[in-house]
Each structure stands twice: as C-alpha cells, then as structure tokens.
Chain A
Amino acid sequence: MDDNTRLGLYRTMVLIRTFEEAILREYHADKKPVFDIGAGLVPGEMHLSAGQEPVAAGVCAHLTEEDAVTATHRPHHLAIAHGVDLEKLAAEIFGRETGLGRGRGGHMHLFDPATHFSCSGIIAEGYPPALGQALAFRRRGTDRIAVAVTGEGAANQGGFHESLNLAALWRLPVVFVIEDNDWGISVPRSASTCVTSNAVRAAGYNMPGERVEDNSVEAVHEAAGRAVARARAGDGPSLLEVHTLRMWGHFEGDAQAYRTDLEGVPGRDPIATYEHALRERGLLDDDRVKEINEDAVVRVEAAIVFAKGSPEPAPETATEYVFA
C-alpha cells in the first residue's frame, strides 16, 4: 500500500467521524432537557456509525461512482466513503426538499442515482437488490460491481442466505460485506449466531469467505481488494466479514445498559489507532492532523448549514412521488 492510499483512508475516516459528530450534536441539540425522539429538527431514529469507519473507507476505496453500494439502517459512513454528496446527504437527514430523496426518505432510506448508492432499513433486505444491479452491469458488458453491506445480525436472515446462493449460482459481480459490530441492538453475537465467523458460511455457497479481525482499515482495504478484483474479473462473488466496533448506541437515546464492553470502547477507536500508526510511519504530524481535521470540519459544517437553510417539503406535496 502506498502512502497516498494510507492518507486517503485516514482522510475518509476523519470526514465520516466529523460528519457523524455533527449529526450527533444537531440531533440532540433540540431534544433537551428531556429526550423526545420525535422532537427537533431531526426527529426519528438515528443510527450513527462511529467506530465502523474502517469498513466504509477500506471497501469503498476500491470503487468508483459507477459501482453500486447497498447499505443498512446505519448508512452514513458508507454513503460518505462512496462519494455521496455531503450537502444532499445532510439535507435528507434533516428532511429537506434539497435532500437525496427530497426529504421523503430520511436517514435510513438514502437513494443516490449519481453514485448508485442505496440503503434499506430492513435487516438483510439490502442484499437482494444488489444482485440485480450486478446483473444489469454485467449485461451491459461492463466490469462494474455491486457491494452489498449488512450487519452480523443480518447473517441469520433468509434474504442473506438466498442472496449468497443466487449470486454464486449466477456468478454475479457482487462483494458481500458483513459489519460485525458484536451487537444486534442489545443481543451479543454469541447469543445470535451459531458460528464464530460468518466467513465460514461462504463455503456453503461456493465462494471465498474472509474475516478481518481487528477493525484495521488497511486490513479491510487489502481483503476488499481481493474480493473486488475477483468480482470485476467475472469470477463471482465473495464474502468479507469485518470485526468492527459500535462506539455509540444502536440508536441515539440508547442507554446501552446491556453492554458489558463499554469501558474498553474508547481505547479501541480505529481512527485514533490509525492516526498513531501513521504518525509512527512519519506520514502524520500535529500540523497535518490539524489540517485534515479542519478540512473535514469545513466540508461538514457547510453541509449542515446547507441542510438547515433548505426548505422543508411543502405539505401539499405529501402525496407526490408515490407513482412515477
């Protein structure tokens, strides 16, 4: 891996974290002193991705805007890493007319035709549409691929297993990614999943399976590179599981009383870990870190200002877009 790639991965992760911290701030700003999930400028559930940046940065570094990504109810990191416009993303989260879906989708339902990005709020159900995108890309004679991302809790759903079978059967150019953050809301993976690594399930579908254990962005990048290359070459799908980290609650407002591993979380922050590694390599110093952080803040705050300054959908348009 060259140094530019390393710095690019770091920049992407910082941009994601900066965005999520800004959403966290805005989300809670008008839900005080008593938390009311339906109050404020951004009402509704909010699933933030702090700690899972290595998956998004490491995988999406291999993609162009011509490739498809399908994500989950926790989609912001993947959207940002795949190049979704920050202003349109923020505006959609704020439910504004200038958002990706003109404010109709909200943070769990993001659709961006410009980058072929989409997500689904239903566990595992973002996998099957990725197969069709991959089929369409192949039918047009391109080497474009589809990346389908879900969490470890989804790997026990039918849609997950059906998708792996059909993708392998038809040798579709798909990379399946599992973000294993240890928790399906409050249920630890040990209480949900009969195998210690979902990568072993790939063998049942005649495809390579790999697990990255340490939430290292470079390890994700390397493993994803193999899977992406295989898909682009027409050799079929792969399954990649990353043991990542949910630093915050399942959703904002989740007190996480069930969580036994919270104490160690700050010390496992993958961005701090990577920053340290890049300092050791001489690629980062205080000035460079400051510059990268400031650049991210400028971009993110501009997106937040754009979102908050955008109009809400007019009430009389409530029934528009049900049909084309």
Chain B
Amino acid sequence: MTITETPSTTSSAPPASGRRLTTAKAMVEGIAQEMDRDPSVFYLGEDVGAYGGIFSSTTGLLDRFGRDRVLDTPISETAFIGLAIGAAVEGLRPIVELMFVDFFGVCMDQMYNHMAKIHYESGGNVRVPMVVTTAVGGGYSDGAQHSQCLWATFAHLPGMKVVAPSSPFDAKGLITAAIRDDNPVVYMFHKGVMGLPWMAKNPRTTGPVPEEPYEVSIGKAAVVREGRDATVVTVSLSVHHALDVADELAGNDIDVEVVDLR
C-alpha cells in the first residue's frame, strides 16, 4: 500500500474561532479524511453501517465509502476484533468499534493478549496498526453494565495507547493521529462529549474544528484553562465539569487551572 501524501500538521490547541462541529461530527470527519487519503483504512463493528454508529461515530461513512470499507459485523466481538488484528498484521489499518466499553469482557483476550502484545512478542517484527473506538461513560441512567469508563483498565496494560478526547478539536486530531499511529490505539469517546441530539445538551460538545486534516499528539496533556489558584487534572467529560466549576469560581475571584489528560 503506497501512501502518497501525508498532510501532517500537528496542532495542540483549537483555533479561537471558525467553523464549529459537534464532537461526533469532528470524529467522523477525521475518519473520512483518513479513509480518503489511505485505502488501507476501513471501519468495522456493530451497527456502524446504515445506522451510523449508535453514538454517531460513523454517520455517513457507509454512503461515502461503501460496504467494502464500512462493515457491519455480527455481535461477535472476539471474532471481529481478532479479525481486525489479523488484517492489521497484514498491513491494513482497521478501525474496529467496541460499541460500549462495558462489552470488553467478551473479547478482552484479543485486545490485551494479542493486539497489545504481538509487537513485543515478535521483537518488533510485526506491527499492529489499528484503532479500537469505544463509547464510555453514563449519566443517562443506563445502569451498571452500560455506563463504565474503564480508562485505567486499558491504560494499565502495556502495548496499547489510550486516548480520550473531550472536545471536538481533540476528537478529530486524536482520531487522525490514532489511525496514522503504527501501534494499537484505544480511542475512548464519552457519550456525553459527543453532542448527540438525544442526550442532555452541553455547550462544550460543539466547538471550532479546522477543516483540513491535522493530528493532536498522542500522550500530551493540554492545559485547557490557565489559572493560578488551583489545578484540576482530569479527562473527558469531567473536563467539561471542571471548566463549568472554574467558570463559576471565577466569579468568586478564584482562578482554577484545568488540565485535560486526553
């Protein structure tokens, strides 16, 4: 597979103004641009085709790229995540969706014993360039089996990178970086940051997103609000909550810094 062009600007902070997208639309735009650029990228998972992803992670991709590159799978996570691993080993760049991260219990062997370990076990001779996208978090009364975050569960295990965007800008930049990365990357998107029309509205789920492709570096935290009195270090939807609190405290003359581990 020859990749002829890699427009590869790296950005660390969103522009102050410009075109605004929801987090979900920013994520999809990043995926679509990478699928345009690199024919080895394809997307598979449950309800990622005609439905467009239960949490709008693939809206419009089927119409644009067809069934060969946007594949609905059976409810069979061990088989299709394992399939993605084999495809990645042979040089394709699959993005595979685990609909809710809570479902990792039925397929974790493929993720932590295979996806994350093959590069090490092969002494660096075999790369596994793939992305696992997965929805996390609750806040809408979905109960104990559909609301977990589990960032630490994945981040604790060596061999896979873990990212968790909190803003539309990071959602696009991190998915772009994840697809281009030669390592397995677990891309954990909180349902509450996606800007879904069927969940409680949160103004921070819409924000400025450059139209051209760009990467947000994996592994670099961002200071999303500067402040001199106290620092909150957090991730994903809690970044929104921390910013809300910081805004409130600013009225009391308390200046809070917020760091997003993303």
A residues with a Cβ closer than 8 A to B are 68, 70, 99-106, 109, 111-113, 116, 118, 120-122, 125, 127-137, 139, 146, 158-159, 162-163, 165-166, 169, 320-324
21 contacts between A and B (CB under 8 A): A100-B125, A101-B121, A105-B122, A111-B125, A113-B126, A118-B118, A120-B113, A121-B113, A128-B79, A128-B86, A129-B85, A132-B83, A133-B89, A135-B86, A158-B106, A159-B82, A165-B74, A165-B79, A321-B120, A323-B119, A324-B119
Docked pose: A105 CA to B182 CA in angstroms: 20
Chain B interfacial residues counted at CB < 8 A: 42
Flag if A146 contacts B119 (CB, 8 Å): no
| Nearest Cβ on chain B to A103's Cβ, whole angstroms | 7
Flag if B122 contacts A111 (CB, 8 Å): yes
Docked pose: A166 CA to B129 CA in angstroms: 22
| Nearest Cβ on chain A to B178's Cβ, whole angstroms | 13
B110 at the interface (CB under 8 A from A): yes
Flag if A132 contacts B121 (CB, 8 Å): no
Contacts of A136 in B (CB 8 A): 86-87, 90-92
- The contact string, 1 if C-beta is below 8 Å from chain A, for chain B 94-125, is 10000000000010011001100111111111
Please name the residue on chain B nearest to A125 by beta carbon.
B109
Flag if A131 contacts B86 (CB, 8 Å): yes
B73 at the interface (CB under 8 A from A): yes
Please name the residue on chain B nearest to A148 by beta carbon.
B86
Please name the residue on chain B nearest to A166 by beta carbon.
B79
Flag if A128 contacts B110 (CB, 8 Å): yes
Docked pose: A130 CA to B79 CA in angstroms: 10
B134 at the interface (CB under 8 A from A): no
| Nearest Cβ on chain A to B130's Cβ, whole angstroms | 9
Contacts of A321 in B (CB 8 A): 119-120, 122-124
**Complex partner residue of A101 from B74, B78, B122, CB under 8 angstroms:** B122
Flag if A132 contacts B82 (CB, 8 Å): yes
Docked pose: A39 CA to B76 CA in angstroms: 41
**Complex partner residue of A120 from B83, B114, B159, B183, CB under 8 angstroms:** B114
Flag if B79 contacts A131 (CB, 8 Å): yes
| Nearest Cβ on chain A to B158's Cβ, whole angstroms | 5
Apart from A113-B122, A122-B113, A324-B124, what are 13 other A-B pairs with CB-CB below 8 Å? A68-B90, A111-B122, A118-B118, A125-B82, A128-B110, A131-B79, A132-B88, A136-B91, A136-B92, A165-B76, A166-B83, A321-B119, A323-B183
Total A-B pairs, Cβ < 8 A: 145
B187 at the interface (CB under 8 A from A): no
Flag if A100 contacts B123 (CB, 8 Å): yes
Docked pose: A185 CA to B97 CA in angstroms: 36
Flag if A99 contacts B123 (CB, 8 Å): yes
Docked pose: A128 CA to B84 CA in angstroms: 9
B262 at the interface (CB under 8 A from A): no
Docked pose: A114 CA to B184 CA in angstroms: 22
Q: A128-B86, A129-B114, A131-B86 are in contact. Are A104 and B81 (CB under 8 A)?
A: no
Q: A130-B86, A135-B86, A166-B83 are in contact. Are A125 and B114 (CB under 8 A)?
A: yes
B80 at the interface (CB under 8 A from A): yes
Docked pose: A129 CA to B80 CA in angstroms: 9
| Nearest Cβ on chain A to B226's Cβ, whole angstroms | 31
B191 at the interface (CB under 8 A from A): no
Docked pose: A128 CA to B91 CA in angstroms: 16
**Complex partner residue of A129 from B89, B117, B125, CB under 8 angstroms:** B89
B190 at the interface (CB under 8 A from A): no
Please name the residue on chain A nearest to B73 by beta carbon.
A166
Question: What 6 pairs across the A-B complex have the smallest Cβ distances?
Answer: A128-B82, A132-B86, A102-B123, A129-B86, A136-B90, A132-B87
Contacts of A106 in B (CB 8 A): 121
Contacts of B124 in A (CB 8 A): 102, 320-321, 324
Flag if A111 contacts B86 (CB, 8 Å): no
Flag if A324 contacts B183 (CB, 8 Å): yes
| Nearest Cβ on chain B to A85's Cβ, whole angstroms | 12
Flag if B76 contacts A166 (CB, 8 Å): yes
Flag if B183 contacts A132 (CB, 8 Å): no
Contacts of A169 in B (CB 8 A): 74
Docked pose: A100 CA to B125 CA in angstroms: 8
Docked pose: A166 CA to B71 CA in angstroms: 12
B127 at the interface (CB under 8 A from A): yes
Contacts of B123 in A (CB 8 A): 99-105, 321
Docked pose: A323 CA to B182 CA in angstroms: 8
Please name the residue on chain B nearest to A103 by beta carbon.
B123
Docked pose: A135 CA to B161 CA in angstroms: 25
Docked pose: A175 CA to B81 CA in angstroms: 19
| Nearest Cβ on chain A to B156's Cβ, whole angstroms | 13
Flag if B159 contacts A131 (CB, 8 Å): no
Which residues between 192 and 217 of chain B lie within 8 Å of chain A, taking CB atoms?
none
Please name the residue on chain B nearest to A108 by beta carbon.
B121
Contacts of A105 in B (CB 8 A): 121-123
Q: A125-B109, A321-B119 are in contact. Are A139 and B79 (CB under 8 A)?
A: no
| Nearest Cβ on chain A to B67's Cβ, whole angstroms | 11
